[in-house]
């Protein structure tokens, strides 16, 4: 059994770590409220944009827009949205695992792939993998400027013919306690089918011009929603991980405290036995 002084030092170390995990838990809890509110507020706008695009595409025939051009797939860009920091449970591991599965599927289909990492964790992971990396983005924030930059970069790659498809791997919020690593195709944009309206939409000057103006904004809205979903999932995973770490620290301190009392009792017993044995020896 460890000595009294050693156990006391371990208790102090665990208490110090617990203070850190508790502080990180409180920070995650404060941040997640703001991001979650923005995510929920952005969803109706994204759904309405999807509805408008669906109404536009239903009024047009043939090739609609360069962003909707489907062509033989030879090269694929995979956008991987991960965190810049750790201490969030299996969040980053789930993202890179889903990304590796997607990349493996493209490679087995005979396609070239390029990885576009968003977040330091994903970037460091793919640095040690045999996949080309382009347009690294670290230290990102879930704001519309970041979404615009990503959308413009990937739009240029797609319309210039550098890639034939764009896929994204990110974590989607299912509930407060559940997140899911998901893979979606972003480009080319698919023609959305929406139910018929009692009063159909009317577009000025014409649906073709409206579609060309709306699609870039629609793509930026998709990226904005993805970033908000990913950051909310990250903070939720960190909040849960830090809560578990704080609770486990309490349990561990309780176990160490019992060991401390046992060790101290054993030391006191040994000292009493030594005193008694010395006194007996002096009598003899």
> How many residues are there in the chain?
284
- Sorted by sequence, the CB contacts under 8 Å of residue 246 that are 6+ apart come out as 18, 21, 22, 25
Q: What angle, rounded to 10 degrees, do the helices at 120-127 and 91-108 form?
A: 50
Burial of 215 from C-beta contacts in 10 A (0-12 / 13-18 / 19+): buried
- Sorted by sequence, the CB contacts under 8 Å of residue 270 that are 6+ apart come out as none
Strand bridging mode 112-118 / 75-81: parallel
Angle at alpha carbon of residue 174, lines to 144 and 47, rounded to 5°:
50
Given 88, 115, 151, 235, which residue is catalytic? 88
- Which helix or strand (DSSP H or E) is residue 229 part of? helix 207-283
Closest CA to 201 of 210, 212, 213: 210
Separation of alpha carbons 228 and 144, rounded Å: 10
DSSP, residue by residue, 157-180: HHHTTS-SEEEEEEEEE-SSS-EE
Q: Could you confirm whether 88 is annotated as catalytic? A: yes
- What number of other Cβ atoms are within 10 A of residue 278's Cβ? 10
Catalytic positions, please?
88
């Amino acid at each position: 059994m460890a000595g009294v002084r050693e156990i006391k030092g371990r208790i102090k170390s665990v208490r110090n770590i617990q203070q850190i995990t508790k502080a990180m838990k409180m920070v995650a809890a404060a941040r997640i409220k703001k991001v979650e509110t923005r995510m929920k507020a952005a969803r109706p706008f994204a759904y309405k944009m999807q509805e408008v695009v669906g109404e536009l595409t239903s009024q047009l025939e043939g090739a609609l827009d360069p962003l909707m051009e489907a062509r033989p797939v030879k090269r694929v860009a995979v956008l991987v949205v991960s965190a810049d920091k750790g201490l969030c449970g299996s969040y980053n591991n789930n993202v890179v695992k889903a990304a590796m599965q997607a990349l493996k599927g493209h490679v087995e289909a005979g396609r070239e792939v390029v990885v576009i990492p968003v977040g330091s964790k994903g970037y460091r992971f793919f640095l040690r993998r045999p996949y080309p990396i382009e347009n690294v983005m670290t230290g990102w924030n879930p704001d519309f400027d970041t979404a615009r930059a990503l959308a413009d970069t990937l739009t240029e790659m797609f319309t210039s013919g550098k890639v034939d498809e764009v896929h994204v791997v990110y974590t989607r919020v299912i509930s407060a306690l559940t997140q899911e690593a998901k893979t979606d195709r972003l480009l080319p944009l698919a023609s959305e089918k929406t139910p018929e309206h009692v009063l159909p939409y009317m577009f000025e000057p014409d649906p073709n011009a409206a579609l060309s103006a709306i699609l870039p904004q629609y793509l930026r809205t998709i990226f904005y929603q993805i970033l908000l979903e990913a950051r909310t999932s990250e903070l939720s995973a960190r909040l849960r991980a830090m809560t578990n770490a704080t609770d486990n620290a309490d349990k561990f301190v309780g176990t160490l405290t019992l060991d401390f009392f046992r060790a101290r009792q054993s030391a006191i017993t040994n000292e009493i036995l030594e005193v008694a044995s010395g006194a007996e020896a002096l009598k003899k």
